[in-house]
Amino acid sequence: MKIKDVMSAPIVEVTPFTPIRDVAQHMDYSGVGCVIVTDGHEITGIVTDRDLALRVLGRGLDADGPISMVMTPAPVTVRPDDDLDMAYETLRRHAFRRLPVVDSGTVIGMVTLDDLLLHSHQMTADLLRPVISEISEPQHPRDRE
């Protein structure tokens, strides 16, 4: 299975000059825990709710400063046609929870730990469905009486 089959889209984008306060409000309004920082269509960074807590609140930074002050520059990305194993390995190796999905230099989605866990649970349920059906039905006709 490919990353494009489980990724979330669309993503929330801001420019590097967007005030930190506006980014936090945008995240709240959009119901997301991360935004992509882009300059045109090119990804320049990523900011998570954890970044805002630790890098802004934790350091007492001015919330009117640009988001580029606290973003993680040049984030690790994956491609939509990469195998899901690539996402699992990348998340595991870097201890990330979110990976931007980039196609031809443009961010088209996000694959998250939650997306992968949901996919894994759905696959397990699909595998178990026939087994559950088999063990829940009597195996011999006389048992049905």
The tens digit of pLDDT for each residue in 60-74 reads 899 999 999 999 999
Residue 74 lies in a domain: yes
| Per-residue model confidence as pLDDT tens for the chain (145 residues) | 899 999 988 899 999 999 999 999 999 999 999 999 999 888 999 999 999 999 999 998 999 999 999 999 999 999 999 999 999 899 999 988 999 999 998 999 999 988 888 877 677 666 767 767 667 766 666 655 5
Residue 80 lies in a domain: yes
Please, are residues 89 and 111 in contact by the beta-carbon 8 Å criterion? no
Within 8 A by CB and 6+ apart from 100, the residues are 11, 36, 43, 46, 75, 77, 78, 107, 109, 110
Residue 130 lies in a domain: yes
Within 8 A by CB and 6+ apart from 90, the residues are 76, 78, 96, 99
Q: How many domains are contained in the chain? A: 1
Domain that holds residue 34: 3-137
Residue 70 lies in a domain: yes
The tens digit of pLDDT for each residue in 110-127 reads 999 888 888 776 776 667
Residue 48 lies in a domain: yes
* Helix-helix angle 113-136:84-94, to 10 degrees: 120
Please, are residues 111 and 4 in contact by the beta-carbon 8 Å criterion? no
Residue 144 lies in a domain: no
The domain spanning residue 96 has which CATH number? 3.10.580.10
Residue 142 lies in a domain: no
Residue 143 lies in a domain: no
